[in-house]
């Protein structure tokens, strides 16, 4: 059994897999990745099952050391983070073979909140209620249900031979337009709002005020209810745009409660959830209405793209790597510029 | 007479089957009957269903099922008449003393009732378990006396302690995990109703009855110890 040992973990680093399903009826959130697009890409770059357990790294970054008998394959991507191998920059998205004792670290770049580190074969942390996903509020999954901390030892079954060549992952979906409007399917409680209030969601700019794995709170013009804001509690799905008594949208994310008692004006399309998850507080966002069918087609389209990840793994030689990286990142490739990105 | 449910999309990956907007035992029975029929039908692409007071949320994989296809299949479901096992009636210890009575004074002021009156009303009622939800093992109850109807908070309050007894929006609930909430905390039960090592992880059933038995702070402490050691601290009414 190979291991990664956590040398340093900032706030927000957890073990996540595709999620814990079948227990929402008992009040348990599915958890799973905040940005499923980056999460799956990291797994697929290694030939893993798309939903294998990985490390979700939050804004606090992480530093790890390889403890193994032989080289191990890892892949990381998402959130435009800066990854360093033994202190040397290796870009924001890559698949690497690391020798025992090598150190890998990540810190946030100029935008984005979550990045993902997958290992070949997937992490083998304990399974609880059918999943390895961490839900910290209930202390379920992951390592003792908590955030990763220095000293944690993360086991995985390394394949006999290191999987594939070192490569940059140059997939375009890892660099989404963070200013593009977020697609929203109306309902189920859109009838708790006047048309004017509904229209406000699709015409006014909003701003991410605060957020965590459970929900993102937005600032913007007040969205008034026409029939009060108490409903008899009903089901809640990922991406629900809940409008509570303060008339501000609260968008429910990966650790969302399975039920709730505030009216839900609409749901952010699954295709855009990962993009939303990467919006830092202060960032503007806009909404556009789509049908459930359009949202479904958008999701399938993006899932199909992500399934082609290996086509976007380019063998890692310095000049090739640079070709695959868009201009904004190239400016931050000097070590000095990256040590203190903010 | 069963009502025709409304089908309301919740994004492209979930659908609400809504039987009404009220807390009503007959409506809740319809939800549970539909839930069982759905489980039997085993429609490919359905991930799980979440029964609530008055609706069923169906989570599905949109790669395998489109919302309209799902609705068409649901319209063809045969709903069997309710065949519930006889409901159990649980007696659950509850402490309304400081520090467990976090919001009791606030509720008393808002409803213009004496705190003792609020406790008396809360313990005199027999509740029905309508649903679990929101957080692991949160038990949602109907049967709260009308005098205790209070609106939810406009903004959530900081986390309540484990076992908190909450009210808001004409509903009551037992909170089995510390969570921020828009509800008001009247007291706490030492019982621990959610255990991930158990199958199913919740020790009471949908449709069961519950009433609360007041205990003092010292009894709360010893019962909580017993609960943490895995001993049952709730019992069935004789």
Tell me which chain A residue has its CA closest to the CA of residue B61. Answer: A296
Do A25 and A157 share a domain, yes or no? Answer: yes
Q: How confident is the model at residue A340 (pLDDT cuts 50, 70, 90)?
A: very low
Asked whether residue A234 falls in the same domain as residue A151, the answer is no
Alpha-carbon gap, residue B141 to B118, rounded angstroms: 17
- Confidence band, pLDDT 50/70/90 cuts, at residue A123: very high
Q: Reply yes or no on whether the pLDDT at A335 is more than 50.
A: no
What is the spatial distance between Cα B99 and Cα B187, in angstroms, rounded to a whole number? Answer: 8
SS3 A28: coil
pLDDT of residue A160: 65
Give the structural domain span for A255. Answer: 182-302
**Is the pLDDT score of A309 beyond 50?**
yes
**Residue B228: which H helix or E strand, with range?**
helix B217-228
Q: Is A144 exposed, middle or buried (0-12, 13-18, 19+ CB in 10 A)?
A: middle
A169 and A25 both lie in a single domain: yes
State whether residue B96 sits within 8 Å of chain A by CB.
no
What average pLDDT does range A214-230 have in this prediction?
Answer: 91
* Strand pairing category for A72-77 and A259-260: unpaired
What are the Cα distances from residue A152, in Å, to A120, A155, B104? Answer: 19, 10, 42
Other C-beta atoms closer than 10 Å to the C-beta of A5 total: 15
pLDDT in tens, B137-158: 899 999 999 999 999 888 889 9
Quick one: A213 and A287 in the same domain?
yes
| Whole-number pLDDT of residue B203 | 84
Question: Do residues A287 and A322 both lie within one domain?
Answer: no
In the structure, what pLDDT confidence band is assigned to residue A162 with cuts at 50, 70 and 90?
low
pLDDT above 90 coverage of chain A, percent: 84
- Separation CA A296–CA A302 (nearest Å): 10
Q: What is the pLDDT of residue A138?
A: 87
At which residue do the structure tokens 């790890």 appear?
Answer: A64
Is residue A297 domain-shared with residue A313, that is, in the same domain? no
A232–B contact, CB cutoff 8 A: yes
Which of A24, A230, A239 lies nearest to residue B152, judging by beta carbons? A230
Q: CA A298 → CA A134, A187, A241, A272, distances in Å?
A: 28, 18, 19, 9
Residues A73 and A206 in one domain: no
Q: Does residue A150 sit in the same domain as residue A188? A: no
Indicate if A109 and A143 belong to the same structural domain: yes
CB contact under 8 A, B68 and A233: no
Say if residue A338's pLDDT is above 70: no
Report the CATH number at residue A284.
2.40.100.10
Q: Which residue from B11, B18, B171 is facing A239, i.e. has the nearest CB? A: B11
- Asked if A158 and A108 sit in the same domain, the reply is yes
Expressed in percent and rounded to 5, the helix, strand and coil fractions of chain A are 20, 30, 45
How large is the C-alpha radius of gyration of chain A?
20
The total of structural domains in chain A comes to: 2
B105, two tokens: 């004074």
Domain shared by A33 and A118, yes or no: yes
Same domain (yes/no): A24, A127: yes
Identify the segments of chain B with pLDDT beneath 70.
Answer: 1-3, 81-85
Written as six digits, the tokens of A17 are: 């897999």
CB atoms closer than 10 angstroms to residue A337:
13
Binning pLDDT at 50, 70 and 90, where does residue A341 land? very low
pLDDT digit string, tens, across residues A316-332 = 764 444 444 444 443 33
d(CA A334, CA A342): 14
Whole-model pTM? 0.88
Question: With an 8 Å Cβ cutoff, is B155 touching chain A?
Answer: yes
Question: Which residue is associated with the tokens 């986390």?
Answer: B159
Give the per-residue pLDDT at A337: 31
Q: Say if residue A159's pLDDT is above 80.
A: no
Instruction: Write down the pLDDT at residue A317.
Output: 64
What is the 3 state secondary structure string of B124-185?
Answer: HCCEEEEEECCCCCCEEEECCCHHHCCCCCCCCEEEECCCEEEEECCEEEEECCCEEECCEE
* B182/A244 Cβ within 8 A: yes
Cβ neighbours around A248 below 10 Å, total: 18
């Amino acid at each position: 059994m190979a291991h990664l040992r956590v040398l340093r973990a900032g706030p927000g680093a957890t073990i996540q897999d595709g999620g814990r399903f079948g227990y929402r009826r008992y009040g348990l959130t599915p958890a799973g990745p905040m940005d499923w697009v980056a999460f799956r890409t990291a797994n697929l770059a290694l030939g893993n099952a798309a939903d294998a357990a990985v490390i979700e790294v939050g804004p606090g970054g992480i530093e790890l050391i390889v403890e193994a008998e032989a080289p191990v394959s890892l892949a990381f991507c998402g959130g435009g983070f800066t990854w360093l191998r033994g202190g040397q920059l290796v870009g924001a998205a890559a698949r690497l073979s690391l020798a025992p004792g090598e150190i890998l670290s990540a810190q946030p770049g100029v935008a984005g909140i979550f990045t993902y580190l997958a290992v070949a074969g997937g992490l083998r942390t304990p399974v609880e209620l059918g999943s390895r996903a961490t839900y910290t509020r209930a202390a379920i999954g992951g390592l003792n249900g908590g955030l990763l901390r220095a000293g944690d030892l993360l086991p995985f079954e390394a394949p006999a031979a290191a999987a594939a060549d070192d490569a940059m992952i140059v997939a375009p979906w890892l660099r989404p337009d963070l200013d593009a409007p977020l697609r929203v399917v109306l309902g189920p409680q859109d009838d708790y709002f006047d048309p004017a209030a509904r229209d406000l969601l699709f015409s006014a700019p909003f701003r991410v005020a605060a957020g965590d794995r459970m929900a993102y709170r937005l600032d913007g013009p007040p969205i008034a209810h026409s029939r009060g804001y108490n409903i008899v509690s009903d089901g809640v799905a990922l991406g629900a745009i809940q409008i509570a008594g303060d008339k501000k949208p609260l968008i429910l994310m990966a650790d969302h409660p399975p039920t709730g008692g505030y009216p839900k004006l609409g749901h952010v399309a699954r295709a855009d959830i990962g993009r939303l998850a990467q919006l830092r507080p202060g960032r503007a966002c806009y909404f556009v209405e789509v049908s459930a069918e359009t949202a479904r087609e958008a999701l399938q389209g993006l899932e199909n793209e992500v399934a082609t990840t290996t086509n976007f793994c380019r063998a890692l030689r310095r000049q090739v790597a640079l070709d695959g990286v868009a201009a904004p990142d190239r400016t931050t490739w000097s070590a000095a510029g990256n040590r203190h990105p903010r | 007479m069963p009502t025709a449910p409304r089908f309301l999309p919740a994004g492209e990956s979930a659908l609400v089957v809504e039987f009404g907007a009220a807390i009503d035992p007959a409506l809740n029975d319809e939800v549970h009957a539909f839930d069982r029929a759905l489980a039997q039908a085993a429609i490919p692409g359905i991930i799980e269903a979440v029964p609530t007071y008055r609706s069923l949320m169906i989570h599905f994989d949109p790669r395998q099922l489109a919302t309209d296809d799902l609705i068409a299949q649901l319209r063809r479901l045969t709903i069997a008449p309710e065949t519930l096992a006889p409901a159990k009636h649980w007696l659950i210890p509850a402490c309304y003393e400081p520090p467990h009575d976090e919001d009791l004074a606030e509720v008393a002021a808002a409803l213009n009732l004496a705190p003792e009156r609020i406790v008396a009303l809360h313990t005199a009622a027999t509740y029905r378990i309508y649903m679990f939800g929101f957080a692991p093992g949160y038990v949602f109850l109907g049967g709260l006396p009308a005098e205790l109807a209070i609106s939810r908070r406009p903004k959530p309050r900081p986390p309540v302690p484990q076992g908190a007894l909450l009210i808001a929006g004409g509903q009551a609930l037992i909170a089995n995990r510390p969570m921020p909430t828009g509800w008001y905390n009247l007291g706490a039960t030492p019982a621990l109703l959610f255990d991930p090592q158990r199958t199913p992880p919740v020790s009471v059933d949908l449709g069961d009855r519950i009433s609360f038995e007041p205990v003092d702070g010292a009894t709360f402490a010893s019962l909580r110890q017993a609960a943490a050691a895995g001993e049952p601290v709730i019992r069935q009414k004789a």
